[in-house]
Chains A and B, each alone.
Chain A
Amino acid sequence: KQEVTQIPAALSVPEGENLVLNCSFTDSAIYNLQWFRQDPGKGLTSLLLIQSSQREQTSGRLNASLDKSSGRSTLYIAASQPGDSATYLCAPLSNMLTFGGGTRLMVKP
């Protein structure tokens, strides 16, 4: 059974900082891994999808890396902004999409 852990559980930073969100998973036999953003009271918005054969994906200020063999993924957020405040969820896809508990990010102006 896949288990996903996200560290830290919560993070509060001043605007402009570069951030690192960590995700680890126990079953490395995955097809891909998605990073999602969730605003309070809203659904999930897909940020990045990394295929199992890829090492990283980039979209704007976001960069996600994947080390499948060690069961780790990292989401980098460059030059953080208050609008980045949300919960970030990591979800590897094996036989199903399994979520971690998320990292709640607060970026202060």
Chain B
Amino acid sequence: EAGVAQSPRYKIIEKRQSVAFWCNPISGHATLYWYQQILGQGPKLLIQFQNNGVVDDSQLPKDRFSAERLKGVDSTLKIQPAKLEDSAVYLCASSLTDKLYGYTFGSGTRLTVV
């Protein structure tokens, strides 16, 4: 089966600019997650979708971050305006609804804010 697809692979922007990341989950996976991983740390959950509805966005900085999942498939994560501390790898993951199954992660998007 195809994995979780993410693009772009790398992005460099100046602070105060905006940026968007795209994720296409594994076909049939109802649940989609965005994680932020700062260098040297474990990933931190930003937002969780079940189909096209938000399940948990308690750790999403809503003043500058937004995310949507159109038609319950692809998802986009946006940062506007970016800050230096947003430099990180943004990971997308998907899973089947049943908690018997694990998560599958994409390769991530490495964002550098200068």
Contact = CB atoms under 8 A, between A and B. Distances in A.
Interface of A: 4, 31-32, 34, 36, 41-46, 49, 51, 89, 91, 93, 95-102
A27 to B, nearest CB: 14
Given A32-B99, A42-B108, A43-B108, A102 B42 contact: yes
Nearest to A93: B99
Interface residues of B, number: 23
A4 B42 contact: yes
Interface of B: 6, 33, 40-45, 48, 56, 91, 93, 99-108, 110
A31 B42 CA distance: 20
Contacts of A97: 33, 45, 93, 103
B108 A32 contact: no
24 contacts: A32-B99, A34-B102, A34-B103, A41-B110, A43-B6, A43-B91, A43-B106, A44-B43, A44-B93, A45-B105, A46-B102, A46-B103, A46-B105, A51-B100, A89-B43, A93-B99, A93-B103, A95-B56, A96-B45, A97-B103, A98-B45, A99-B42, A101-B41, A102-B42
